[in-house]
Structure 1
């Protein structure tokens, strides 16, 4: 059915007395995640080169995404049965421990271990927050909540990469990891008390059967994470071993995705399956480009970490602007909004790719990344609101988990493919290495534009 947004504003806003505490707490936690993501993306080129781990650069991001799959699956039914407070608490703790391990890492291998632990905690956090939105806010306010989440990226987007670049230049890259847990503790003191009062919903499913299915899903999640990591490892090998590992890992990952995601997701069946698929497409396209953009600007174009991080700032501001505008649309067509946003993302990536060529001004990268950010900011709130709207209350945790699973699995897969090609081509032709990766993400964005109209269930046609 069509997503309806009331023409008149609701009687209560996000900061009405009963919503003020959860809104402030959740937005603070999203802002923390925004700072962490942008700051570490800015610092990672220096960290990888310092630890002699440039071939594993993409894996440093994919490891976090792969392990987040386990956290997302573990959180889905847990949050539905017990409420979001407990999984969110665990998520913040594991997230912080992983950052500390990465910040103190003596080698790239230990840094990767820290990123795995951090990803597990992040998976718990992301799903728990979505369940909290579904349980606390009425449908008319949910798209505004998700727009506020995007708006929470504004300040971190403006100051995060710059602060991270300055920390890297004057204190060292390790402090970028070590300072984030301090902020996490502060955010936790705001959001957790607001969620303590959320009570579990009655579970219509047979408890024994549900527990058995959840154990199976958790096993598939662990297998998916292992397959994604194996796919990355295979991409670093050469010869027949590489081919064998890549084929086996790709097949295993595809099977795991089929078992973890709602039926019809991989074939973009109309309605919720396409909504879930679109989350994976848009996230993998944007993130699969974003992790390589600072590396291109610093390593190939000679910018300092601070200046390279400015590109991420510009993109995140564009994302926030797109989400701000989306939150104020009246009676939008979800399909039209998604397709328009994906078209902007495709255009932005095509323009940003021109920065690969040394003769092209760096302004192309900045302008293109702003356009791409506006496109993603338009799409993300629509997908998030549609997921909750098309989900019964007792299944919002499971479907929110599937939404984030799609995000992590698609992105880990794209990073594996792009990272493998990048590693293979970097020594021979850096330009070809970057150009190949950007071409893949741009083509995937174009595919997303084509299938975005299928977010409407068949009954509304």
Structure 2
């Protein structure tokens, strides 16, 4: 049995298509953002293009978790893709930067709904033995996009305009939406679940966390002393909202689902912060061309896909704990290896590609294993909420780490080497904590099996 058997083929193709389209849009948006800021006279407000997307995705994730747990996967998918499409259109047609930011916010909200619905769809439609393979399909789609995006996005922007990167993808998103609607129309995914208790206060905490994550990311990306109040306010809002959006005990790595959720945030923060500043260091301090630096990112994506493929093999399914721990250790090794870029005697691009490959393979082993472990330990009517918490943790971990490393970079800007060394040290510490704490993810299940035996 595999994910391309007749029963699953249509759904697998639909999921792969939509993930590839979203991956291309996300990567191209990062590439063309400087052109957008210049064209719309908003260089000083550059960071809001990213903050708006990330902040708006948070309530989308929370809402997506609650809707899917009520058996509304298909409507959630369609709503997410509709919002994403409207956001793309608004961004592509924007005549002023605030309009562009509004479009990015709509994309973020739709993206938050989409990613949670996607995870729950996999959990509902695929049996346990096929889920690791489906969680390998997604990084493979991202890897394909990573190979094509640098060339394609640059060519489109140069030949026509940066707007074409947003508007040109609309027909493909529409086709993928039709495919998803068809694939989820059988009713299998919409299994009955018990109604959830009303939680009116969750909106307040979600808004607080969304505002906090936006402030934190913006202040970190554009830090000056004048933005210190923004940074502190964002931190306070996160402290108030985040504990209510994650499973009880996540912040102290309580065994089981709480530890799984927190681990995702640690890994995401470590990998994203190290990767972001490695590219900057390569170009500005080691004299590597932008295209060559981009090659390192492509290698990381390919390594991620390779690791994800390996963890999906039938022969390793009984070694999930080892896969997760090994993945975390390799991710830490890849991050640590980037410190070798500080040695001018070593060829920068070779070091960067080697470190990216090791780290990417580690993430490919670890991240799908986290998802598999989460659904193994989630009741059917908790899958949406737990998937949402996992994505919230990923976003928060990335935003917090980027804000902190951005702050470190701003303070040490006069010495790029010192700043890069400090950032790599922080990312390595986060990855080391993830490696040590990964053993807590399987304790609940292992204990239950021991008791049953």
Q: 1: CA distance between counterparts of 2:288 and 2:106? A: 31
Residues 404-443 of structure 1 aligned to structure 2 (within 5 Å): 404-426=391-413, 428-443=414-429
Name which of structure 1's ranges 448-457 and 110-119 shifts more when overlaid on structure 2: 110-119
- Distance change >3 Å, CA 88–CA 176, structure 1 → 2: same
Contact 2:332–2:432, Cα closer than 8 Å, also in 1 = yes
Is the contact made by 1:166 and 1:306 (CA closer than 8 Å) also made in structure 2? no
Relative distance call for 1:340 and 1:58 in structure 2 (3 A) is farther
**Corresponding residue for residue 225 of structure 1:** 210
Q: How far apart, in 2, do the equivalents of 1:47 and 1:436 lie?
A: 31
* Secondary structure at the counterpart of residue 130 of structure 2: helix
Contact 1:60 1:112 in 2 (8 A): yes
1:338 aligns with 2:324: yes
Match of residue 451 from structure 2 = none
Give the drift of 1:52: 6.8
Deviates more, 1:224-233 or 1:362-371: 224-233
1:352 Cα deviation after fit = 2.6
Deviation per residue, 1:304-358 (Å, 9 max, x gap): 5544432221111110000111111424333322121111111111223433666
CA distance change for structure 1 residues 52 and 354 in 2, over 3 Å: closer, same or farther?
farther
- SS for the counterpart of 2:247 is coil
Shift of 1:42: 3.4
Residue 204 of structure 1: SS of its match in structure 2?
coil
Aligned match of 1:375 = 362
Q: Secondary structure at the match of 1:289?
A: helix
Between the aligned partners of 2:401 and 2:358, the Cα distance in structure 1 is 21
Query: Contact 1:58–1:419 (CA<8 Å) still a contact in 2?
Result: no
Name which of 254, 271, 289 aligns with 2:256. Answer: 271
Instruction: Give the RMSD, CA atoms, in angstroms.
Output: 2.7
* Deviation at residue 364 of structure 1 after TM alignment: 1.2
Identify unmatched segments of 5+ residues in structure 1: 1-11
Correspondent of 1:154 among 111, 130, 143 = 143
Please give the alpha-carbon distance, in whole angstroms, between the structure 2 residues aligned to 1:407 and 1:341. 16
Shift of 1:274: 0.8
Aligned to 1:400: 387
Q: Which one of 318, 326, 335 corresponds to residue 311 of structure 2? A: 326
How far 1:48 sits from its partner (Å)? 5.1
Residues 388 and 448 of structure 1, relative CA distance in 2, 3 Å threshold: same
1:101-116 equivalences under 5 Å are 101-105=90-94, 109-116=98-105
Q: CA deviation at 1:435?
A: 4.1
Is it true that 1:201 corresponds to 2:191 in the alignment?
Answer: yes
Distance across 2 between alignment mates of 1:434 and 1:102: 33
Distance in 2 between residues matched to 1:173 and 1:434, nearest whole Å: 31
Q: Deviations over 1:128-183 (max 9, x none)?
A: 11111111111111111111222223322222223223334544544333333332
The unaligned stretches of length 5 or more in structure 2 are 448-453
Give CA-to-partner distance per residue, 1:258-292, whole Å, 9 cap, x none.
Answer: 00000111111111111111111222222233344
Alignment partner for residue 254 of structure 1, among 239, 251, 266? 239
Instruction: Name 1:285's counterpart in structure 2.
Output: 270
Q: Provide closer, same or farther for how the CA distance between residues 50 and 318 of structure 1 changes in structure 2, counting only shifts above 3 A.
A: farther
- Tell me the distance in 1 between the aligned counterparts of 2:383 and 2:159: 45
Counterpart in the other structure of 2:76? 87
Q: Which moved more, 1:340-349 or 1:173-182?
A: 173-182
| RCO comparison, higher one (Cα < 8 Å, 6+) | 1
Say yes or no: does 1:133 pair with 2:114: no
* 1:8 corresponds to: none
Q: How many residues align?
A: 443
CA positional deviation for 1:300: 4.9
**Secondary structure, aligned partner of 2:186:** coil
Q: Indicate conservation of the 8 Å contact 2:57/2:110, yes or no.
A: yes
- Between the aligned partners of 2:412 and 2:276, the Cα distance in structure 1 is 17
Look up the match of 1:9.
none
